[in-house]
Amino acid sequence: MAIIAFIGLGNMGGPMATNLLKAGHEVRVFDLVPALVKQLVSDGAQAAKSAENAADSADYVISMLPAGKHVASLYIGDEGLLASLKPGTMVIDSSTIDAETARDVHAACRDKGIEMLDAPVSGGVAAAAAGSLTFMCGGSEKAFEKAKGILGDMGQNIFHAGPDGAGQVAKMCNNMLLAIHMIGTSEALQLGTKNGLDAKVLSDIMLASSGKNWSLERYNPYPGVMPTTPASNDYQPGFMVDLMAKDLGLAIANASACGSATPLGEKALGLYQQKQQEGDGKRDFSSIIELLK
Ligand code: NAD
């Protein structure tokens, strides 16, 4: 069993840390929000006063933070964790961030003789709670082999996508596709119900037809079709509109830099930005269906 520092206990990090406790690890937790730390302590974790305090003598440091700027400031610079981490500690960043920042953290870790993986996840809050996340990892083969067991305590599918930053590239591609098929699914359900069809009946038909996709199967955006989705709970996240807009921004910026065409990704970003402008940034991303009503 390992000593694990877990930094960032939000919608995803909280249940991921709980699964590490269930697997028998010693987990030291830190978040800027004290109530989130308290919740994990009631599950058996040790509260830390700071990220440094959590990481002190840990075997692994796992971070699950909102965006690249949070990850860079956690690890890099005079105030960053890398200044005090002991060699032999391993860093696993599971936040969804831009590949460039991930590579910067990899390089800073290498300078200190510390192994690192960028290991973003897919599956959402339900998979985080069930321990069935998909991890997509970037880094050396050696780092991947070292982290695989720990990641397996939080997820079901553990992929080595390639070298430093490759996990973030895979995640960026996946989430652009997710954004697009959530909008497509919402359009189809809205059109069908406007024509008098029942949303559940139409969903069942499309699930058995060529329109089947993850949004329809696991995360139906129409209220009442699936009792446990954010749509049936006033679009409480889940996965916030703000985070989806961030992820689409990463994909569009990358596509523009490498000269790859993403017309639907750009259209999707415009729609999520519209949702943000309407004050819905903190609601679940499946609330995009409300724009179509
Ligand atoms: P969240 O906002 O619920 O959680 C982030 C947590 O990080 C917050 O509790 C915040 O207080 C904490 N935090 C921020 N800066 C910190 C710091 N310096 N030190 C300690 N704690 C700090 O977000 P989330 O939904 O858990 O998402 C986390 C990451 O996972 C994001 O990058 C997101 O894109 C990605 N992701 C989310 C989902 C999802 O369904 N929610 C799915 C896959 C990936």
Looking up residue 109, the CATH number of its domain turns out to be 3.40.50.720
115 CA distance to ligand 1 centroid (A)? 22
**Residues 80, 131: one domain?**
yes
Closest atom of ligand 1 relative to the 12 alpha carbon: 26
**3-class DSSP state for residue 197?**
coil
How many helices (H) and strands (E) would you count in the chain?
12, 9
| The last residue of a domain, from among 163, 195, 213 | 163
> What is the mean predicted confidence (pLDDT) over 264-270?
98
Q: Are residues 229 and 263 in the same domain?
A: yes
Please check whether residue 244 is in contact with residue 280, taking contact to mean a CB–CB distance below 8 angstroms. no
Residue 17's SS3 state is helix
Q: What is the pLDDT of residue 201?
A: 98
**Cis status of the peptide bond prior to 152, with omega within 30 of 0:** no
CA 5 → CA 24, 25, 33, 81, 120, distances in Å? 14, 10, 16, 11, 17
For residues 182 and 151, membership in a common domain is answered with no
In the predicted model, what is the mean pLDDT of the chain? 97
What is the tens place of the pLDDT at every residue in 117-147? 999 999 989 999 999 999 999 999 999 999 9
Question: What pLDDT, in 10s, does the model give residues 39-70?
Answer: 999 999 999 999 999 999 999 999 999 999 99
Residue 15 confidence (pLDDT): 98
* Residues forming the active site: 171
Q: Is 178 found in the same domain as 123?
A: no
The neighbouring-strand residues paired with 226 are none
Q: What is the mean pLDDT of residues 9-20?
A: 97
**83 φψ region: left (φ > 0), alpha (ψ -120 to 50), beta (else):** alpha
Residue 222 pLDDT > 90, yes or no? yes
110 pLDDT band, cuts 50/70/90, is: very high
Q: Which pLDDT score, from 0 to 100, does residue 124 have?
A: 87
Residue 178 and residue 283 in one domain: yes
At residue 78 the predicted structure's pLDDT band, cuts being 50, 70 and 90, is confident
- 209 Cα: distance to centroid of ligand 1 (angstroms): 35
Residues 161-217 pLDDT 10s: 999 999 999 999 999 999 999 999 999 999 999 999 999 999 999 999 999 999 999
* Same domain, yes or no: 150 and 202: no
Same domain, 113 and 188: no
What's the CA-to-centroid distance between 11 and ligand 1, angstroms?
7
Residue 219: give its domain's CATH number. 1.10.1040.10
The whole-angstrom separation of Cα 222 and Cα 224 is 6
What the block records as the tokens of 159 is 């992929």
- If asked whether residues 151 and 11 sit together in one domain, one would say yes
Q: Are residues 97 and 154 located together in one domain of the fold?
A: yes
Q: Which residues form the domain of 53? A: 3-163
* Ligand 1 environment, Cβ below 6 A: 7-13, 30-33, 36, 51, 64-66, 70, 74, 95-96, 121-122, 124-125, 238-239, 243
